[in-house]
Amino acid sequence: MCGIAGVLFKRQGEHEIGKTLIEMLDGCQHRGPDSTGFALYGDTKELLQLRFIVPMQDPARQEAIDNIAALLKRHNATIEKEESVGCSYHIEVRFAGDLLAFTRDIEEHAKLVSVGHTLDIIKDDGTAHELDELYHVGDFKGTHGIGHVRLATESAVRPEAAHPFWATGFEDIAIVHNGQITNYWKMRRRLERRGYSFHTDNDSELVAVYLADKLSQGETLDHVLETAIEDLDGTFSFLVSTKDEIGYAKDNLAAKPMVLYETDDMIAIASEEVSLNRLFPGQSINSTEPAPGTHQTWSRSI
């Protein structure tokens, strides 16, 4: 149960993605006080960016970091830069092999939460402003991003159960979700038979893996969202982001709220208008509420 937000600036450049998402998530923090998360898209980096969740205290923290180093070595990946902050360990890696096999193996042995050349996922227990203090999310510049505030209902309050979820095996793809997938176990077993593994019991992870699986078959994001509405049962509004796009899908029952606002320069989507209005204080905006069972994608100019 939660609130979601997403923003995409249509023109290339150094936009205040971090600050924008902090504002939007702060606006709907009442929907989810337990944890907050951001998927941020900036410049395409030469090196592969990985972020892990690690224990807060030594020696467990150092053990986890050593373990990650050993794992990378096994795949001939070299760490060029590292940073250990909050509950996370962020590294830049030189790697040239098969990403899918690489990340599947790493995911078996470490809590990998973000993979990509442009994407960074930052998530932790706490509010948007608390995360900003620790991780300096507000300094992030880029073109688009999605975010999430979470009230844990069925799975525990742990950073790794927070959103966004990375679409396992596929770089630069993230999702945030508000709602409940009611055919979770059926869909999960189907995906497990196709070789995917799950690291939480969170139904939002299922959405991420489902999308990743479809995208790996070469389908467009737009088409994947269309099939998601048919295949996933329940009440949901979710946002997905890739290197160049963001999109939404809304269930057939329209039971979870979502509003969007588009200008020539940007598209902003949120659970509640109060988040959109944070970007335009004192103004009325012509927001629209997507119809049930619909989806849409937007891409930035390349």
Catalytic residues, which ones? 2
d(CA 224, CA 218): 10
DSSP classification of residue 290: P
Task: Please state at what angle helix 60-74 crosses helix 99-109, rounded to 10 degrees.
Answer: 150
Cβ pair 155, 199 in contact under 8 A: no
Stretch that binds other proteins, among 43-51, 106-114, 191-199, 254-262 (CB under 8 A): 254-262
Binding to other proteins (CB under 8 A) within 135-164 occurs at: 151-154, 157
Q: Does 255 bind other proteins (CB under 8 A)?
A: yes
The alpha carbon of 287 is separated from its chain's Cα centroid by a whole number of angstroms, namely 24
Q: How far is the CB of 168 from other proteins (least distance, A)?
A: 26
Task: Please state at what angle helix 17-27 crosses helix 128-135, rounded to 10 degrees.
Answer: 150
Among 257, 262, 296, 299, binds other proteins (CB under 8 A): 257
Q: Does 263 bind other proteins (CB under 8 A)?
A: no
Q: Considering beta carbons, is residue 33 or 55 the nearer one to other proteins?
A: 33
φ/ψ of residue 145, rounded to 5: 180, 165
d(CA 228, CA 250): 9
Cβ pair 229, 296 in contact under 8 A: no
Stretch that binds other proteins, among 103-111, 125-133, 196-204, 283-291 (CB under 8 A): 283-291
Kind and range of the H or E run holding 140: none
Q: Does 56 bind other proteins (CB under 8 A)?
A: no
Q: Considering beta carbons, is residue 59 or 282 the nearer one to other proteins?
A: 282
Stretch that binds other proteins, among 8-16, 107-115, 137-145, 282-290 (CB under 8 A): 282-290
Q: How far is the CB of 219 from other proteins (least distance, A)?
A: 27
Q: Does 288 bind other proteins (CB under 8 A)?
A: yes
Q: How far is the CB of 129 from other proteins (least distance, A)?
A: 18
Tell me what percent of the chain is helix, strand and coil, each rounded to the nearest 5: 30, 30, 35
Stretch that binds other proteins, among 24-32, 63-71, 159-167, 193-201 (CB under 8 A): 24-32
d(CA 187, CA 110): 24
Tokens standing for residue 271: 């659970």
Binding positions for other proteins, rule: CB under 8 A: 1-3, 30-34, 151-154, 157, 178-180, 235, 254-257, 259, 271-274, 276-278, 281-289, 291-292
